[in-house]
C-alpha cells in the first residue's frame, strides 16, 4: 500500500486504468468519450450540488462546466459528480428541516465515497447553500487529495416596489409574514415582497450561513482569494472557475499542498476571526469544528469562542448591519477583510493556501477598506466581535449568540417553555407570550430532534410582530445565519442528553449577559433543584423516524463538537486492495 504523501501520488487513478486486468475499466472510460490520452491523464472529481432544489444551486452545473474546461486545459480529465443538497429555504419551519444538517454528513460521505471508489486524483468542489459548503469541504479534507473549493456565489438583492426602492432579501419576506399576522402589513404587501426579494440564482444575499462559509473557505486557504463574493450570475465566474481549476492541476501534477496541510489550527483560527469580523452565521461555530475533525484536529466550541472574543467586528453586513454580499464584492471581496485583519495582527499570515502560497502572500494585493461596508480595525463597530459563546449553569457546554446589531446585551426574564418548534411556532403566531419572556424551545438538538432544526421562521415572526428586541429566545436547536435579535442557540448539553435546558419550567428566571466581561447564561435555580428536576423528568416520546434520521440519531455527537457522525479523520490510502 502506498500513502498519498509518496511522490508516486501522481497518479492514484492508475489503479483503475493500467494493465491487462483493467481492460474493462478502460472500456467504461472510453464509453464516457475518453481517448487514450484522456485516460492516461489524472482524473479529477468535479463535485457540485447543482439542481432545482433551490436558487442557491440553480446555476452550479453551468459553473462546473467552466471548471471542467479549466481542468482539461491544465492536463486533467474531469468527471462531473453531482451531489444531493437540502434547501434551508424550502425546508424552513416544518419537519423537513430535520434533514438540513443531516445533509452535510451525506454530502461529505458522498464526496468520500465517489473519490475513494473511483480513485480520483483530485477534487474540485462547488457549493452555494448553507450545509453543502461545509459538507463539500469536509469531504475534501477527509479524502486529503489535491483539492479546491469555490462558493457558487450569492444572489443579487431585489428591490422594494414603489418609491422606497430599498434593497431586499428573503429575510425581509420572512419578517413581513410576522407583520401580516400582527396586522401591520397587508397580504398584498407580502405578496409583492415575496415576488421581489429574490430575483436571481444564488445564495441568500446577506452574511447568512452560505456567504459566511464562502468567506470561510477563503480564510481556511481552500478557495481562491476573492472568489466567494462574486455574485452567482456574474460572467466573471466563468474565468474564475477556469483559473481555479488550472491552479488545482498544478497541485495534482506537481507537489502542491493537500487539504490537511492547509486546514491547521492556524487556518481554523483565521476562519473564526473572519466570522467574528463580519458578524457571520452562528452555524460557522458548528461547521468549523466538523471540518477540523476531518483533519484530525480537536477544535471545539471553546476554541471558537476564544477567537471570537478577541476579534473586532469590522464589516457592517446584514442581518445585523446594512450591507450585502454584492457590496463586499464591489469594494474588493473578502480579501479586503482578510488583509485588514492581518495588518492588525488578528490572523496567522503564514497559514498555507491551496496555491502553495501563504495567506499573507495571497492577500497582499487586496484593496483597502472603504470605511462603510468594511472599516479599518481601529474603527471597529465592536471591539469584541459579532458573535459570542455564552456559558453558565443553564448551558455548561456553551451556547451561541450573534451580537452584531443587538441593541442590548443583557436580559433577565421568565422562561416560556416549549417542547418542540411546532409548539413555539403556534404560540408565537397567536401572540401567546409577553414582552420580557425568554422563549425556550427544547428537544431540537442534534440527537433529540433529530437533526438540530433552525428557527428562522420563529425569529422572523417575532421581528415582524415588533417584538424582536423585547424578548429573548433560547434553544438547543440552531438559528439561521439570517436570524437577528437576542436569539441563543446550540445550547449544550441538549435536552435529549439531559442538559439543564430539560429541567426548565415556565416562570423560571433566566439571566443573559452577553457583554464581553460576562458572556453568561444562567437559570436562577440551585444545582440540587436542577438535578432533582432532571431525575424526575420524562423524556418526550421517541417518535419512530426510520431511515436516515434513525441512523443519524444513533451516531451524531454533541453540537459543541461539531455534530459529526464518525469517530475520527479517515486515513486515505492509494491502494486498499
Residue 577 CB neighbours (<10 A): 5
Strands 122-127 and 77-82: unpaired
Candidates 13, 100, 267, 480; catalytic one = 480
- Measured distance CA(544)–CA(295) in Å, rounded: 34
What does the block give as the cell for 282?
452562528
- Measured distance CA(224)–CA(248) in Å, rounded: 10
- Measured distance CA(126)–CA(66) in Å, rounded: 11
Half-sphere exposure (Cβ direction) of 209: Cα atoms closer than 13 Å: 30
CA 504 to centroid of chain Cα atoms: 30
**DSSP for residue 227:** -
What does the block give as the cell for 77?
480529465
- Measured distance CA(309)–CA(302) in Å, rounded: 11
Query: Nearest CA to 138 among 166, 110, 163?
Result: 110
**DSSP for residue 538:** -
Is 480 tagged catalytic?
yes
Query: Nearest CA to 388 among 498, 462, 282, 266?
Result: 282
Half-sphere exposure (Cβ direction) of 399: Cα atoms closer than 13 Å: 35
- Measured distance CA(60)–CA(62) in Å, rounded: 5
> Could you tell me if 490 and 478 are in contact, meaning their C-beta atoms sit under 8 angstroms apart?
yes
What does the block give as the cell for 228?
466567494
Q: Which residues pair with 167 in a beta bridge?
A: 159
Query: Nearest CA to 502 among 415, 389, 428?
Result: 415
- Measured distance CA(499)–CA(395) in Å, rounded: 8
Query: Which residues does the annotation mark as catalytic?
Result: 480
Amino acid at each position: 500500500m502506498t500513502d498519498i504523501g509518496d511522490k508516486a501520488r501522481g497518479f492514484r487513478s492508475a489503479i483503475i486504468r493500467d494493465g491487462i486486468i483493467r481492460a474493462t475499466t478502460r472500456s467504461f472510460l472510453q464509453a464516457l468519450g475518453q481517448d487514450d490520452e484522456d485516460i492516461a491523464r489524472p482524473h479529477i472529481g468535479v463535485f457540485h450540488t447543482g439542481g432545482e432544489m433551490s436558487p442557491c444551486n440553480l446555476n452550479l452545473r453551468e459553473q462546473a462546466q467552466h471548471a471542467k474546461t479549466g481542468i482539461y486545459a491544465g492536463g486533467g480529465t474531469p468527471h462531473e459528480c453531482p451531489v444531493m443538497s437540502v434547501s434551508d429555504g424550502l425546508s424552513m419551519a416544518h419537519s423537513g428541516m430535520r434533514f438540513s444538517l443531516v445533509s452535510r454528513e451525506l454530502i461529505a460521505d458522498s464526496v468520500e465515497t465517489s473519490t475513494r471508489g473511483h480513485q480520483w486524483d483530485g477534487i474540485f468542489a462547488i457549493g452555494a447553500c448553507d450545509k453543502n459548503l461545509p459538507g463539500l469541504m469536509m469531504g475534501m479534507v477527509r479524502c486529503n487529495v489535491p483539492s479546491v473549493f469555490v462558493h457558487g456565489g450569492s444572489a443579487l438583492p431585489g428591490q422594494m416596489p414603489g418609491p422606497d426602492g430599498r434593497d431586499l432579501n428573503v429575510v425581509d419576506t420572512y419578517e413581513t409574514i410576522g407583520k401580516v399576522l400582527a396586522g401591520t402589513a397587508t397580504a398584498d404587501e407580502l405578496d409583492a415582497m415575496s415576488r421581489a426579494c429574490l430575483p436571481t440564482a444564488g445564495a441568500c444575499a446577506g452574511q447568512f450561513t452560505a456567504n459566511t462559509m464562502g468567506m470561510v473557505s477563503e480564510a481556511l486557504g481552500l478557495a481562491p482569494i476573492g472568489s466567494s463574493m462574486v455574485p452567482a450570475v456574474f460572467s466573471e465566474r466563468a474565468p474564475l472557475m477556469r483559473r481555479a481549476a488550472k491552479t488545482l492541476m498544478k497541485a495534482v501534477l506537481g507537489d502542491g499542498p493537500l487539504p490537511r496541510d492547509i486546514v491547521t489550527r492556524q487556518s481554523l483560527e483565521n476562519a473564526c476571526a473572519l466570522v467574528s469580523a463580519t458578524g457571520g452565521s452562528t452555524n460557522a461555530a458548528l461547521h468549523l469544528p466538523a471540518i477540523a475533525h476531518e483533519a484530525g484536529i480537536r477544535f471545539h466550541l471553546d476554541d471558537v469562542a476564544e477567537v471570537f472574543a478577541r476579534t473586532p467586528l469590522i464589516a457592517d453586513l446584514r442581518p445585523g448591519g446594512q450591507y450585502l454580499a454584492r457590496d463586499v464584492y464591489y469594494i474588493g471581496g473578502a480579501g479586503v477583510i482578510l488583509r485588514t485583519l492581518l495588518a492588525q495582527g488578528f490572523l496567522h499570515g503564514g497559514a498555507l493556501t491551496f496555491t502553495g502560497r501563504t495567506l499573507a502572500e495571497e492577500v497582499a494585493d487586496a484593496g483597502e477598506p472603504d470605511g462603510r461596508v468594511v472599516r479599518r480595525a481601529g474603527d471597529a463597530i465592536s471591539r469584541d466581535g459579532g458573535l459570542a459563546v455564552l456559558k453558565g449553569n443553564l448551558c455548561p457546554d456553551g451556547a451561541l449568540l450573534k451580537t452584531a446589531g443587538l441593541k442590548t446585551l443583557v436580559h433577565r426574564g421568565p422562561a416560556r417553555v416549549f417542547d418542540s418548534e411546532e409548539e413555539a411556532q403556534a404560540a408565537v403566531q397567536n401572540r401567546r407570550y409577553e414582552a420580557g419572556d425568554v422563549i425556550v424551545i427544547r428537544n431540537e438538538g442534534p440527537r433529540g430532534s433529530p437533526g438540530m432544526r433552525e428557527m428562522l421562521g420563529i425569529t422572523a415572526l417575532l421581528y415582524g410582530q415588533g417584538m424582536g428586541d423585547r424578548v429573548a429566545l433560547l434553544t438547543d436547536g440552531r438559528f439561521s445565519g439570517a436570524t437577528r435579535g437576542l436569539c441563543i442557540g446550540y445550547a449544550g448539553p441538549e435536552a435529549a442528553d439531559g442538559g439543564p435546558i430539560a429541567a426548565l419550567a415556565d416562570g423560571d428566571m433566566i439571566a443573559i449577559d452577553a457583554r464581553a466581561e460576562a458572556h453568561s447564561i444562567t437559570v436562577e435555580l440551585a444545582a440540587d433543584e436542577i438535578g432533582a428536576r432532571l431525575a424526575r423528568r420524562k423524556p418526550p416520546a421517541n417518535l419512530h423516524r426510520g431511515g436516515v434520521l434513525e441512523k443519524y440519531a444513533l451516531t451524531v455527537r454533541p453540537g459543541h463538537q461539531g455534530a459529526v457522525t464518525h469517530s475520527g479523520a479517515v486515513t486515505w490510502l492509494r491502494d486498499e486492495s
